[in-house]
Chain A
């Protein structure tokens, strides 16, 4: 596709359940990022992939959060034992991976934990 695609657009889940959020980056982009945005705040960095490997996962809040990118393209963010505090918009971005290149974002997945 032309841009970064994220699915689902919205996800409502019960507290304690497991969720997966998918990101399909722009073709040819080697770098992929996950961010989380709470209401009224700016996006907060979670994890960065360069190719298949997680080059920096320092932003993941705890071990309930995990992300993979097995073939260096599509990425999945996985959240176990969801909590109400996990409710936020999860944004994915991709870039060519070089310094000083633009990062392009998807429309995000709005996760609501009830």
Chain B
């Protein structure tokens, strides 16, 4: 079963704009991880945020986590054409990662 649900399902933005996507989940977690996938193949790990953390940054990425609302957000700043991909959140509980259906982001040049 898939735990995380991303919103929106699809997002189209102009190069240089910021992209924000959200993830909601239902049960308790140890961590939440964000991944990027190009062309339906391998998943690239972007960032892991632990349940006791509220915000984390990595380059142009900013992730927030609100465990009281069971939600997370991923912000990509100053988007580039190369950011066009599907983005997935995955909730980690013990050893298991459960994925949502993803957000498809298209960055227009």
Contacts and interface: CB of A to CB of B under 8 A. Distances in A.
B69 to A, nearest CB: 21
Contact of A48 (B33, B48, B95): B95
Interface in A1-52: 31, 33, 35, 37, 39-45, 48, 50
B95 A100 contact: no
Interface in B31-67: 31, 33, 35, 40-45, 48, 50
Interface residues of B, number: 26
B42 A56 contact: no
A106 interface: yes
Contact of A91 (B4, B43, B92, B100): B43
Nearest to B100: A42
A33 B43 CA distance: 13
Contacts of B2: 41-42, 44
Contact of A105 (B35, B92, B94, B96): B35
Interface residues of A, number: 30
Nearest to A101: B48
B98 interface: yes
Contact of A42 (B30, B44, B99): B99
A89 interface: yes
B20 to A, nearest CB: 19
A8 to B, nearest CB: 13
Q: Sorted from nearest, which 5 A-B pairs have the closest CB atoms?
A: A42-B99, A107-B42, A105-B43, A43-B99, A42-B101
Interface of A: 31, 33, 35, 37, 39-45, 48, 50, 55-56, 89, 91, 93, 97, 99-108, 110
Interface of B: 2, 4, 30-31, 33, 35, 40-45, 48, 50, 88, 90, 92, 94-102
